[in-house]
Amino acid sequence: MKIALLSAEYPPCPGGVGDYTRHLGMALAQRGHQVIVLTGTPGTVADGGTPRVFRLALDRWNFRCWGAVRRALADLRPDVLHIQYQTGAYGMHPAINFLPGRLRMRADRPRIVVTAHDLLPPYLFPKAGPLRDRVTRRLMIDADATVATNEEDAAQLCRWGVAEAHRAPEVIPIGANIGVAPPPGYERGAWRRHLGIAPDETLIAYFGLISRSKGLDTLVQALAHLPDTFRLLIIGGEATAPSDRAYAAEIRRRIAADDLTRRVIVTGHCHEADVSAHLLAADMAALPFADGASFRRGSLLAVLTHGIPTVTTRGAAALRDEEHALITPPGDATALAGAIVRLANDMMLRSRLGEAGRALAAPFSWPAIAARHEQLYRALLSAEETIGSRR
């Protein structure tokens, strides 16, 4: 089967959707499929084991993308076009939302699948939410099948009438965007010394792009309440949207204003193996999502997969307080600081939460995720063959 994965972002361009697309493409290729990634991001180069990358001649995802995608499909002739959708990744332009409707006019088109990575409407201007919902609904209705990464988004798609338009959305979770694979010869003590962490210091890891929904401001506030022996490792860099860059600048100012510069390490964007090493070097992770923890977050799955005891915020029902993680209210720096101190002082609790988190994340494996997608693609192609034989 030939599968084209369309994503506005792709490594080395940072972003969770790009990481997801790469892992999904690799897992599908390992199942014997021919996988091509269609993207417009600069500098995307195929490395060993990575799917073939086809860079569209685009600098923005405006209405010019229709022609660019049609030409690529005519050249590549995939059986399935799978759009990875997060509106912010496409510059919040609606062109991608109407692409399936345009493609459906062509008899030789591939089957079209859309994965909804995030259905929360981004802020554009006051009262823009209903307009964004309408164009997002158009994208999902015009596809041949939709994938939701969690039950909440699947319910939203059903409320939009997706099931009546073609079929009920498939719920296929995302996987960890970073596996447990530190550099060869990794040794935890040496890595901590390289970071400048003293033996009596507690290292808190934050992993992910620096954007407002991740709650890093709350974590910096919490750090200011903690003793000097607590250090913060921010693994990642700022996101690309102007609002996220402004937020990252705000975080830097707050770190300086609270005299925390010596206690905070910011890695910037780094290689996957280094991310894994950083996570394994930490004593705990803190992911205080402003909008609540969710299994749509690859960063959450990554820290759980690494067996790191984690403090996060209320959200995903399957993530239970004191069983899989310590859970605090979003935006509550005092509660977050208290949970961090509790973890630091209780070795048995850290061990128990680390093991439980690892077990919780185990089903979110990329081979299983790829197998679910393969079943969906085959069902779509089989249905099309049945319809064609009746004509």
The contacts of residue 298 (CB under 8 Å, 6+ apart) are 16, 19, 20, 174, 175, 176, 177, 178
Confidence of residue 61 (pLDDT cuts 50, 70, 90): very high
Alpha-carbon span 236 to 216, nearest angstrom: 12
The predicted structure's pLDDT at residue 121: 59
In-domain check, residue 156:
yes
In-domain check, residue 349:
yes
Q: Are 211 and 251 in contact (CB under 8 A)?
A: no
Share of residues in the chain with pLDDT > 90 (%): 66
Secondary structure E strands in the chain: 2-6, 34-39, 52-55, 80-85, 111-116, 145-148, 170-171, 202-207, 230-235, 264-268, 284-287, 310-313, 326-328
Number of Cα atoms under 13 Å in the Cβ half of residue 166: 22
Confidence of residue 47 (pLDDT cuts 50, 70, 90): very low
Of the two residues 121 and 93, the one the predictor is more confident about is 93
Of the two residues 364 and 345, the one the predictor is more confident about is 345
The DSSP line for 282-348 is: -SEEEE--TT---TT-HHHHHHHHTT--EEEES--TTS-BTTTBEEE-TT-HHHHHHHHHHHHT-HH
Residue 30 and residue 68 in one domain: yes
Q: Are 287 and 206 in contact (CB under 8 A)?
A: yes
**Residue 152: which CATH number?**
3.40.50.2000
Question: Does the bond joining 169 to the residue before it have cis omega, within 30 degrees of 0?
Answer: no
Residue 50 and residue 195 in one domain: no
- Structural domain total, the chain: 2
In-domain check, residue 343:
yes
Q: What is the mean pLDDT of residues 347-360?
A: 96
Confidence of residue 11 (pLDDT cuts 50, 70, 90): confident
For the purposes of burial, counting CB atoms within 10 Å of the CB of 317, is it exposed (0-12), middle (13-18) or buried (19 or more)?
exposed
Is pLDDT at 326 greater than 50 in this prediction? Answer: yes
Q: Are 205 and 178 in contact (CB under 8 A)?
A: no
Q: What is the mean pLDDT of residues 31-37?
A: 95
Q: What is the mean pLDDT of residues 351-360?
A: 96
Alpha-carbon span 306 to 205, nearest angstrom: 12
Q: Are 153 and 119 in contact (CB under 8 A)?
A: yes
Is pLDDT at 312 greater than 80 in this prediction? Answer: yes
Residue 195 and residue 315 in one domain: yes
Alpha-carbon span 194 to 197, nearest angstrom: 8
Residue 229 and residue 377 in one domain: no
In-domain check, residue 298:
yes
Residue 150 and residue 243 in one domain: no
Share of residues in the chain with pLDDT > 70 (%): 92
The predicted structure's pLDDT at residue 329: 95
Confidence of residue 13 (pLDDT cuts 50, 70, 90): confident
Alpha-carbon span 375 to 131, nearest angstrom: 33
To the nearest 10 degrees (0 to 180), the angle between helices 366-390 and 16-30 is: 70
The predicted structure's pLDDT at residue 124: 45
Average pLDDT, the chain: 89
Residue 355 and residue 206 in one domain: yes
Residue 154 and residue 249 in one domain: no
Q: What is the pTM (predicted TM-score) of this model?
A: 0.77
Alpha-carbon span 123 to 117, nearest angstrom: 17
Alpha-carbon span 33 to 52, nearest angstrom: 12
Q: What digits encode the pLDDT tens for the residues 342-353? A: 999 999 999 999
Residue 18 CB neighbours (<10 A): 24
The predicted structure's pLDDT at residue 317: 61
Q: How far is CA 113 from CA 67, 84, 107, 252, 374, in A?
A: 19, 9, 17, 40, 12
In-domain check, residue 182:
no
In-domain check, residue 181:
no
Q: What digits encode the pLDDT tens for the residues 249-300? A: 999 999 999 999 999 999 988 888 999 999 999 999 999 999 899 888 889 9
Alpha-carbon span 357 to 327, nearest angstrom: 13
Q: What is the signed CA dihedral for 2, 150, 55, 49, rounded to 10 degrees?
A: -60
Residue 170 and residue 319 in one domain: no
Of the two residues 32 and 166, the one the predictor is more confident about is 32
Is pLDDT at 100 greater than 60 in this prediction? Answer: yes
Q: What is the mean pLDDT of residues 218-239?
A: 94
Residue 29 and residue 169 in one domain: yes
Is pLDDT at 301 greater than 90 in this prediction? Answer: yes
Q: Are 235 and 206 in contact (CB under 8 A)?
A: yes
Lowest mean pLDDT among 41-45, 234-238, 346-350, 371-375: 41-45
Residue 291 and residue 336 in one domain: yes
Is pLDDT at 27 greater than 70 in this prediction? Answer: yes
Domain span at residue 85 reads 2-175+365-390
Residue 207 and residue 257 in one domain: yes
Alpha-carbon span 329 to 187, nearest angstrom: 35
CA-based torsion, 267, 271, 274, 276: positive or negative: positive
Residue 154 and residue 39 in one domain: yes
The predicted structure's pLDDT at residue 217: 96
Q: What is the mean pLDDT of residues 124-136?
A: 64
The predicted structure's pLDDT at residue 125: 44
In 3D, which of 98, 38, 47 has the Cα closest to residue 72? 38
To the nearest 10 degrees (0 to 180), the angle between helices 298-305 and 16-30 is: 60
